[in-house]
Amino acid sequence: MTTATAASQYNRVAIILHWLIAILIIGQLAGGLYAAGLPREQGELARELFTWHKSFGILILLLSLARIGWRIVNPPPPLPASMKGWEVTVTKVVHFGFYFLLIAIPLFGWAMISSHPRKPPLEFFGLPWPLLPFFGAGSEETHELFEEAHEYGAFAMIALIVIHIAAALKHQFVNRDEVLGRMLPMIRK
């Protein structure tokens, strides 16, 4: 691999974190929407799914913090010089949106559980996980506020994923540049 090629692609850690988080997010979105739509008589299944949903949400939060830390220490490769100004702006806005939501959605979920009046236990793959302490007794109104923020964040994430995939496909099949190959090493030219 030449130095120029290495400078134009993400490093292995960034690629692994990207795809691991992407797979977890898609699973979380699908699982969360499925569990939320279950009929009342399947409450036990919904509870089990949401227990897993919470654990994977915490994992996404931790991996996202690691991803952001890694990105600070190991900046991403520069965008292709052929990109138009508006494309660069949209790219930066979408990436900022991803990083914001990767932190905000799990925090909203954590706050939603922590602000619940009944204070249900929170676990991280079977291990006790602390509730956020600043909610005291909690209230139904606060709980519902964070629940809505969590849900709206999930729908915003879906929109960003669609934009991100569409842009990656545009770069691969219309522009025919190497943008997609920066995160999918097996398709590099």
The whole-angstrom distance between residue 38's C-alpha and the CA centroid of its chain comes to 23
Give the tens place of pLDDT for each residue, 134-184.
Answer: 776 678 999 999 999 999 999 999 999 999 999 999 988 998 887 888 888
pLDDT of the residue at 11: 94
Structure pTM? Answer: 0.91
CA distance 119 to 3: 54
Instruction: Look at domain 3-187 and name its CATH class.
Output: mainly alpha
| Segments making up each domain of the chain, as ranges | 3-187
- Could you please report the per-residue DSSP string of 2-62? -HHHHHTS--HHHHHHHHHHHHHHHHHHHHHHHHHTS-GGGHHHHHHHHHHHHHHHHHHHH
Residue 2 clears pLDDT 50, i.e. is over it: no
